[in-house]
Amino acid sequence: MLASFFLVAGASAQLKYVDATEFGLVNKLCQTENRYHRVDTDKYDLTKNEANLLHMPAGMALVFRTNSSRIGVRTDFLDYNVTRSSTTAVSQTGYDLYIRRDGEWLYAGSNAPKDAHAEQMLIRNMDDSEKECLLYLPLFCELKRIEIGIDEGATIEALPNPFRHRIVIFGSSFTQGTSTGRPGMSYPMIMQRSTGLQFINLGVAGNSKLQQSFARIIGDNDCDAIIVDAFSNPGPEMIRERFLPFVAAIRKAHPRVPVIFLQTIYRDRANFDLQERAREEEKRRAAREVFDAAAKIYDGIYFVDEPNLTGTDHITSLDGTHPDDLGYWRWANAIRPRIVKILKKHGIR
């Protein structure tokens, strides 16, 4: 009985590779010269670090339909560098595949390439029905070209964007997905699969600092709502200095879209590190002050001011700062109803 499966669709035959430029790319802010960059960084006044991070395809996903029994990936990397100790290689340079079943995005396969040139098989031995596929790109690398591998005789075609609206999330490593186990486990992507909303990820690890340059990037592009993980990277002084000008710039460009600020999450190091605890509390106080001041000036701005959404047991940290998949999953499930409620108020559902 088992032997018969080995014969299905020539499980060991070579894959046929198709350039992914033919397929849809979702969660994308704007057209870019390199399709897998998030922003054409030459157009903005950015630091080298900010530009490098925006060249990473964090949060973007390919969507396609295929009847192949196998799905593989082959990548030309422009920057391949597996050095982040608290993030798996799967999240840094790998791919994360979901297939729609009964209306839900169900996990299908994920993996990292063995090296910068390796092909990787994500799933094999599937039935030959038509499948709608959602393939999250790696979080921490730079890509030149992606090819999707399928069975020789199979078909593959672009899928229309299955997600509704354009909700931009600008934020820190927490938003880009540092310490996730696989690319689809960052909190915006978990929320995306359970809500059907399109979250456009502008997470830039260590560099979410209420910059005017990022207000311009967001201002230059259409969106239906904006979420900002604003208080994780800047210190209290920077929060006090930059928050109002940031909101003013966003409001000038997008007078009516709801803007939702997220309180920075509790860092588990603060269980015992008194300085970290005091510093983070001071940041949270600063965040409350500046938000209250802004709320007196602007309508349609919101603050999800709950730091403990990764759990009050404080066991979800990989390195004292960044959540693991358990923490991201809890956070995504906790903020989703809060965010959905605000969006509904603005007719976004």
Contact 139, 112 (CB under 8 A): no
Which x/- pattern, by CB under 8 A, does the window 11-30 give for a second copy?
Answer: x-------------------
Residues contacting 64, CB < 8 A, separation 6+: 20, 23, 24, 133, 135, 148, 156, 157, 158, 159
**Backbone dihedral angles phi then psi of residue 175, each to the nearest 5 degrees:** -85, -40
Contact between 164 and a second copy by CB under 8 A: the answer reads: no
CB of 337 to a second copy, least distance (A): 17
Cα atoms in the Cβ-side hemisphere of radius 13 Å centred on 266: 20
Contact between 89 and a second copy by CB under 8 A: the answer reads: yes
Nearest-5° Cα angle at 165, 160 to 166 = 105
Interface residue with a second copy, options 16, 279, 288, 346 (CB under 8 A): 279
Contact 140, 112 (CB under 8 A): no
Range in contact with a second copy (rule: CB under 8 A) among 152-160, 207-215, 251-259, 321-329: 321-329
Contact between 307 and a second copy by CB under 8 A: the answer reads: no
Contact between 264 and a second copy by CB under 8 A: the answer reads: no
CB-based burial, 134-154: b 16+ in 10 Å, e otherwise: bbbbbbbbbbeebbbbbbeeb
Interface residue with a second copy, options 78, 238, 326, 340 (CB under 8 A): 326
Range in contact with a second copy (rule: CB under 8 A) among 102-110, 166-174, 243-251, 289-297: 102-110
CB of 114 to a second copy, least distance (A): 7
| CA-based nearest residue to 139, from 171, 186, 200 | 186
Our CB check for a second copy shows the closer of 90 and 247 to be 90
Contact 112, 89 (CB under 8 A): yes
Range in contact with a second copy (rule: CB under 8 A) among 16-24, 218-226, 269-277, 295-303: 269-277
Contact 248, 281 (CB under 8 A): no
Contact between 168 and a second copy by CB under 8 A: the answer reads: no
Contact between 320 and a second copy by CB under 8 A: the answer reads: yes
Our CB check for a second copy shows the closer of 28 and 182 to be 182
CB of 262 to a second copy, least distance (A): 21
Contact between 67 and a second copy by CB under 8 A: the answer reads: no
CB of 53 to a second copy, least distance (A): 20
The interface with a second copy within residues 109-138 (CB under 8 A) comprises 109-112, 114, 123-127, 131
Contact 141, 73 (CB under 8 A): no
The interface with a second copy within residues 201-260 (CB under 8 A) comprises none
Our CB check for a second copy shows the closer of 274 and 299 to be 274
| CA-based nearest residue to 73, from 27, 5, 141 | 141
Contact 87, 58 (CB under 8 A): no
Contact between 329 and a second copy by CB under 8 A: the answer reads: yes
Range in contact with a second copy (rule: CB under 8 A) among 22-30, 84-92, 209-217, 251-259: 84-92
**Helix, strand, coil percentages for the chain (3-state, nearest 5):** 35, 25, 40
* Residue 232 vs residues 7, 87, 264, 295, 326: alpha-carbon distances, Å: 52, 18, 5, 20, 19
Q: Which amino acid is at 81?
A: N
Would you tell me which residues interact with a second copy (CB under 8 A)? 1-2, 5-6, 8, 11, 85-90, 94, 99, 101, 106-112, 114, 123-127, 131, 179, 181-182, 185, 268-269, 271-276, 278-279, 282, 314-320, 324-326, 329
